Structure 1
Amino acid sequence: MELAGLSCATAIAKAYPPTSMSRSPATVLVICGPGNNGGDGLVCARHLKLFGYQPTIYYPKRPNKPLFNALVTQCQKMDIPFLGEMPPEPMLIDELYDLVVDAIFGFSFKGDVREPFRTILSILNGVTVPIASIDIPSGSGSKEVGSGVLPCLEVGT
């Protein structure tokens, strides 16, 4: 996860340098899922902060496992804020953030997208800011037509 998260942050910084964003520091919404992809997102957020971005994390389904708890603690100690709820409208995300990191589901995701992730993906499909997806666009492995995120950048881990 450490190498994957660092690699993702490095690819994002190369594709979307903080100095090219409309805000200073550049604001990033990192949306993390409950599995390893979400862990990659937490690590990515830490490195983005070190690279000069201002990340905010939305982590709605946190697994109660020591590794993930430690990753959350590391982010908190770096003063990376966690949202209690997802901004309900794409326009709000566009107004508040320069970039979104999709760290919800990875390569191994199978089946249907359930709540709260169905709503999250629906909101993300309406944003106009760039979306960087870790591994693959979340929801693209779903059986539901049109449920996947449409990323501007895919970062394989």
Structure 2
Amino acid sequence: MSKIITPDEMRAVEERAATLGVSRLLMMENAGCAVAKAVLRLRARLKKGVLVVAGLGNNGGDGLVAARHLAGESVSVKVILLGRGEDIKGEEAAVNWGIVSRMTRSITTLTASNREELLAHKNLFKECGVIVDAIFGTGIKGEVREPFATAIDLINSSKAYKVSVDIPSGLDPLTGGVQSKAVKADLTITFHKAKPGLLKNKKIVGRLIVAPIGIPPEAEL
């Protein structure tokens, strides 16, 4: 069985897993939990807190799950959603945004729909010990637009330890190329199997962890 999977193959496997009863919400939960477990190993850096930068798709949803698990371990967590809650694409990510936005005692949630709103929070990128990059997943296409481009710049300019969810945002998951800009990760946690591009650009990917998310063998193509 191959240890590499293309984005299209991964989507097909996830669809087959869903037909077997492993819901997309459960797969997102498992993915976010894997990210949180990896972040919790960065003990010394956790003292300065974790900033989760979340996009509007499933990758962002994975990051929101991670934020919840980290808060449950008494880690100081802040979340910046790059857009408005009503703009989130996908039921699973929307569910997790709803949960996190109600966790008002343990998580600080902020939204930034444009570059100016994001720059108002630029100090958060300097103050935290760990940044979780949950902006884009394997569905990225074309050039990176605002406020996502500025978010990537702020992440890269930070001295925090950078953890990317599934792939570093901006990296082509198939070729490993970067069309405009990408997060330069210290650690990338990808799910189920490695995507081809992750093996072609180690300078961007950093250390790579492949985490299971509960996909049954019967879902394999």
TM-score, reference length from structure 2: 0.61
Q: Which residue of 1 aligns with 2:36?
A: 9
Counterpart Cα distance in 2 of 1:152 and 1:88: 25
From 93, 98, 102, the equivalent of 1:73 is 98
Counterparts of residues 17-56 of structure 1 (less than 5 Å): 17=43, 20-21=44-45, 23=47, 26-56=48-78
For structure 1, list consecutive stretches of 5 or more residues without a partner in the other structure. none
From 73, 77, 82, the equivalent of 2:109 is 82
For 2:101, the aligned partner's letter is: Q
Runs (4+) of structure 1 exceeding 6 A deviation are none
Q: Quick one: structure 1 residues 92 and 43, their matched pair in 2 at CA, closer, same or farther if it must change by over 3 Å?
A: closer
- Secondary structure at the aligned position of 2:157 is classed as coil
- Secondary structure at the aligned position of 1:21 is classed as helix
Checking the alignment, whether the CA contact within 8 Å between 2:56 and 2:89 is kept in structure 1 is no
Counterpart Cα distance in 1 of 2:69 and 2:46: 20
From 176, 188, 191, the equivalent of 1:154 is 188
- Secondary structure at the aligned position of 1:71 is classed as helix
Moved more, 105-114 or 5-14: 105-114
Q: Which residue of 2 aligns with 1:136?
A: 167
Q: Deviations over 1:49-94 (max 9, x none)?
A: 1122111111122416543332122112322211244345866522
For structure 2, list consecutive stretches of 5 or more residues without a partner in the other structure. 1-27, 113-117, 173-177, 192-221
Structure having the larger proportion of residues in helix: 2
The structure having more radius of gyration, on CA atoms, is: 2
For 1:140, the aligned partner's letter is: L
Percent of residue pairs identical:
34
1:100 deviates by: 0.5
Q: Quick one: structure 1 residues 154 and 84, their matched pair in 2 at CA, closer, same or farther if it must change by over 3 Å?
A: same
1:21 deviates by: 2.8
Q: Quick one: structure 1 residues 34 and 92, their matched pair in 2 at CA, closer, same or farther if it must change by over 3 Å?
A: closer
For 1:48, the aligned partner's letter is: L
Q: Which residue of 1 aligns with 2:14?
A: none
